[in-house]
Amino acid sequence: MFITMIASECAPVAKVGGLGDVVFGLSRELEIRGNDVEIILPKYDCMRYDHIYGLQETYSDLWVPWFDDMVHCSVFFGFVHGRKCFFIDPHLPQQYFNRGIYYGHKDDDERFGFFCRAALEFMWKSGKNPDIIHCHDWQTALIPVLLYEIYQNMGMTHPRVCYTLHNLKHQGVTGGHILSETGLNRPEYYLHYDRLQDNFNLHALNLMKGGIVYSNFVTTVSPKHAWETRHTEQDFGLGHTLEIHHQKFGGILNGIDYDVWNPETDPHIPQKFDINHLDKKYDNKKVLRNHCLLREEFKPIISYIGRLDHQKGVHLIKHAIFYALAHGCQFVLLGSSPDSELNDYFWNLKNHLNNNEDCHLEIGYNEELAHLIYAGSDMMIVPSLFEPCGLTQMIAMKYGTIPIVRDVGGLSDTVFDADHAHKPYEERNGYVFSDFNDQGLESAMYRAIGLYYSYPKFFRELMTNAMRCDYSWNLPGQHYLNVYEHIIEK
């Protein structure tokens, strides 16, 4: 099968969060299974160019329709750890992708609207005819709309589209200008409840809704979240649309790439370890303490890695820090936020805790340090308000780090409470709490810390249970292939 992934992120070259990991990991798995996979990305100035092998211009003369004009683009090709990637570089004074960060500009809708049009124009002009186009989140939601409304009429009738929702909080709600820019035009046609009209703001277009309506199949990143998006307020206003299209909608749990996240082979950790050599994990704990200037004492390290966003439960993260420090633990945080208010909030907290020898907050993005934290911590918290899948809990488990998570989305599908899960003991792998408040979080942290100090043998068993879990791309890869085959046959 020939599959083209079109996305705004791909790890490790252009990664903001889990979306990047998924685009890379799924592509790799599909290739291992004998499929031909190509990835199309914007050519950002802030990418990790050190992870692209053999980058060269392959298409110097791509002209993309935009407004009533044509925009000149170059297309580059390079390998990202073996994956075939095309990078689109528009030559425009607005410098859409040369702004030092990936997201967070006022014209993000325009930037990614352009990217969608350019990706399809590139496929059309270069004669690419994939069986499947797989696009992701609101940034590439216009791909199926443009394909079925413009490119099919030009003869591009073969590709089928799978569209994955990674985060419904960001839907690309925008104005009619995007229609004239992309060449879709006809606002009276698209501003319709059955097409792109936002379900609440009747004068606005909702790109994610358009992606859902026009794709052949829509997935989200865990079965529980698929249910939540149809039956709870976690639909972010798209519940009715998903209900209408429920026959082409389902949840497939994300995998993680065990080539990247594996304590047996990880080049970023000083001491490799596995389930039979668990003591070696503690050499990493020592190095993590040195790195973070934490004192050497018999205490567990609890950590948090992730975006600092309200979705992630920032007030609970703060509460976890103080609860850990008050209950004989150390705490390490690695995170950043594009929101300056939240960033300032954590910078203040960092300054406040600066002299504390049991605590280290690292504000920023640091892929290498993330590996060391997964390997050197004893527990990791994920107290999210909502979490479509969540990767950090799955990565933590692979490194024998016990996850403490809230009972939502993919966290519920992957973490099974040591005391309360309806699972045999050997399948329990962490701690889970329900209430999105301090007491809820404490109920799980209290039990986890208690087990660590009072029943070390059982804590170690829980660690090995977690390490035995298989959250590789193996099963999800097969599920996606089943979806692809299903929509090709239809």
Residues that bind ligand ADP (CB under 6 A): 17-19, 21, 305-307, 334-336, 365-367, 370, 389-392
* Cα 138 from Cα 168, distance rounded (Å): 8
Pairwise CA distance, residues 233 & 197, whole Å? 20
Minimum CB distance to ligand ADP smaller for 150 or for 253: 253
Closest approach of ligand ADP to the CB of residue 27, in Å: 16
Place of tokens 């997935």: 219
CA nearest to 146, candidates 82, 233, 78, 214: 214
Q: What is the largest CA-CA distance in the chain?
A: 71
Give me the least distance between CB of 333 and ligand ADP, in Å please.
9
What SS3 class is residue 444?
A: helix
The CB-of-235 to ligand ADP minimum distance in angstroms stands at: 17
Do you find a cis peptide bond into 93, omega within 30 degrees of 0? no
Q: How far apart are CA 466 and CA 231, in angstroms?
A: 30
Q: How far apart are CA 183 and CA 192, in angstroms?
A: 17
Q: Would you say 334 or 449 has its CB closer to ligand ADP?
A: 334
CB of 141 to ligand ADP, least distance (A): 17
Instruction: Tell me whether residue 198 or residue 309 sits nearer to ligand ADP (CB atom).
Output: 309
Q: Do residues 449 and 300 touch, judged by C-beta distance below 8 A?
A: yes
Q: Which is nearer to ligand ADP, 313 or 390 (CB)?
A: 390
Strands 52-66 and 431-433 come out as unpaired
Cβ proximity to ligand ADP, 211 vs 390, nearer residue: 390
3-class secondary-structure state, position 329: coil
Residues 245, 213 contacting (CB under 8 angstroms): yes
Q: At its nearest, how many Å lie between ligand ADP and the CB of residue 179?
A: 29
CB 311, min distance to ligand ADP, A: 7
Alpha helix positions (H), 171-253:
177-182, 187-190, 207-214, 223-231, 239-244
CA distance 478 to 490: 19
Q: Which is nearer to ligand ADP, 107 or 367 (CB)?
A: 367
Q: What's the closest the beta carbon of residue 452 comes to ligand ADP, in angstroms? A: 23
Cα–Cα nearest to 22, from 377, 394, 429 = 394
CB of 365 to ligand ADP, least distance (A): 4
Please state the closest distance from residue 451 (CB atom) to ligand ADP, in A. 24
Which stretches within 102-201 are classed as H helix?
108-125, 142-146, 177-182, 187-190
Residue closer to ligand ADP (CB basis): 90 or 403: 403
Among residues 209 and 371, whose Cβ is nearest to ligand ADP? 371
Nearest approach, Cβ of residue 101 and ligand ADP (Å): 14
Considering the complex, state which of residue 391 and residue 483 has its C-beta at the smaller distance from ligand ADP. 391
Shortest Å distance, C-beta 411 to ligand ADP = 9
- Centre a 10 Å sphere on the Cβ of residue 356 and count the other Cβ atoms it contains: 16
205-206 vs 173-174, strand pairing mode: antiparallel
Dihedral angle over CA of 441, 444, 446, 449, nearest 10: -120
Nearer to ligand ADP, 215 or 336 (CB): 336
For 387, other C-beta atoms within 10 Å of its C-beta total 32
- Give the span between the Cα atoms of 460 and 183, in whole angstroms: 59
User: Of 14, 132, 141, 143, whose CA–CA distance to 480 is shortest?
Assistant: 132
Query: Which CB, 333 or 451, lies closer to ligand ADP?
Result: 333
